[in-house]
Structure 1
Amino acid sequence: MTRGWIAYTSGSPCPTLVLLREDGWPARRSALSGLLLGVYETLCARGAGHVLKIALVSPSTASAVGLDYRFVQVVPGERNRLEFGGSCGHSILSAVLSASRAGTQAPLRAGDRVRVRVLNNEDIVVCEALEVGPAGGHATFTVRFRRTSPTRLGSTLLLGEPVSTLPDGGPPFSLVSLGNPYVFADARAFGVHTEAELFGAGEPLFRRLSGLREAVARRLGWTSPCFPKIAALLPGAQGALTARAISVPSWHPSLALTGATCLAAASAVPGTVPARLGALPGERLTIRTPGGDSVVRVTASADRLLEVSVSPKTVRMVAVLDLPDLAPAPEPTLSAP
């Protein structure tokens, strides 16, 4: 039997199933797909089909890094699918807490910093524990997304321009990639002018945002049901921004951590939708969402991005499950010609 750890990070659309292996996980998607789809079927049979995020975790083989982490998104449907292409900051925190509870890492203490290597995109994420609950059952973190090398802010614009439009028209948007690719659009272009309207918007706005997301994906030549992600924005007081985002397969209760980092980076680039809405570059950015507020800070030198941090984020253990043995198929051995 294999033990699975389920943890939930505040603001996430669902809990994360964390699977731990001391000897690492195979890199080939083909070696993982059948295995993980079987795991999801087991979750559904046990009434946990709402758990759509899976974190594959092991002690890191890189120097000065605690954990290696690979994120897998379940896309439910008549035929369930897996998305390996992105990352999830909320699931990283679930992985850190679960690894501590499982003994893969030392027990968490306030002040500890756990470095995580994201195998999906080679990002380094530092999770700094601000507070740890009894027996490590919950913890609050500052999450720092560190660039392995300084990143030019302008290079985060996937289309090479601060604002883009589609050939057949539609609202202007900014397409930014930092951890995950995000589309940011002004909610007022969809007839939404107040925070209450944005947070209370239902299916009509969801369909229009989904349509814009799908159109941008087609322009990029992508077929992913998840990427790019998208959020509608409104200006707030004193440089704050209000955001409403779409997740899989519904509204996001807040904004993904990768979405917060993209939004903060975009705010520091003149001419982008967030910058036009009054976000203050070079200062802390408050992001208001239906699930609460987050504070994001950008550390940059000239136009080089060094780090983006998000705080506070709280994660708690939900359950521990015994699952069928998860021994993946062995990696193929190449024979000499």
Structure 2
Amino acid sequence: MGICIDNNCQYQRPYCHYCLPNHCQHLNKLILSEMLNEWIQKRILSINDVQMNAQECKSILDSLLNKFIPYFNIKLEQLGISQINQIIKGLCQIELYEQQFFNKLKSSIEQVKQIVNKILKDFISQTDLKQNIIMQVKQPIIIKPIIQELTKQVNISKPKQFTFELIKQNSIKQDDYCCAIAFNKDGSILLAASYRYIKIYQNKEGKLNQIQCLREHTNTVYTLNFMKITNNFVSGSYDNQIIIWYVNGNNEWKCQQKLNGHLDRILCLLIHNTDSLIISGSGDKTIKFWIKQNQWLCQLTITEHTDYICSLSLSEEQNKVISCSADSQILVIGQ
């Protein structure tokens, strides 16, 4: 019914439901037979990454080679003194780094060869692998009863039940309503909207200390999103504006740029993992893609929805955007 991929397991091979208890300590290392192709594909992609790195190294060395080859057999009188000097210095630097660089390169290549040779030596033939998989797939897949029985055998303890209670002394009373909050990547900073203001709190073990209040927006702040890499953040408001905020050397946030492209309130916003793309949804029925160059610019506007945008989400691969709207549609937008 599946394959064990745990290198430390003495039963690492295709398994049926009878031998499943042998793998109870590493259930996360088991792959059902129908998921095997996907797992193999990921392993192939990782080999491709290594190959691409090797090709990139070759490309760099080729560019260096192409730089000096044209000067081979050239007559010195055709060159100026400064050109000859540059060529000599360049070639001397190669000689200087040759020992250090090529020894490391040779060692790395030798390690790769050893790893590949071991894999090829240990690798079972394609025919045997296919036959093993076919035999295991023929076994009935009854995963739920098996897990229940396995739970009884190994006496897996149930996860602890969590309870939550209000910490009144740490809570904050605001005079205005709050439509958005956001933590930075390490949880040390909390943003909280308070009508058109953005209050910035320092978080120490659940105790919030306000350190700044930002007043650039002129209407309700509805979205707050920290950047993925830096402590800069983005806010969207009912004033139709998106504001990019940066933190300066004094740990104070300042307005870096205002994005004025939407004709209605900003209702949802996403930031790409690379911090180079912002996606915004608005009451004007449009989705805008903003890219970072010298400044943030609107690269694309999606006008497929016929009512205001309610929510946006990015796929795990960061190449598809899912949007939903008050027009009762869900759109999948591919890169």
TM-score by length of 1: 0.23
Structure of higher CA gyration radius: 2
Q: Which structure has more helix as a fraction of its residues?
A: 2
Q: Which structure has more strand as a fraction of its residues?
A: 1
TM-score by length of 2: 0.23
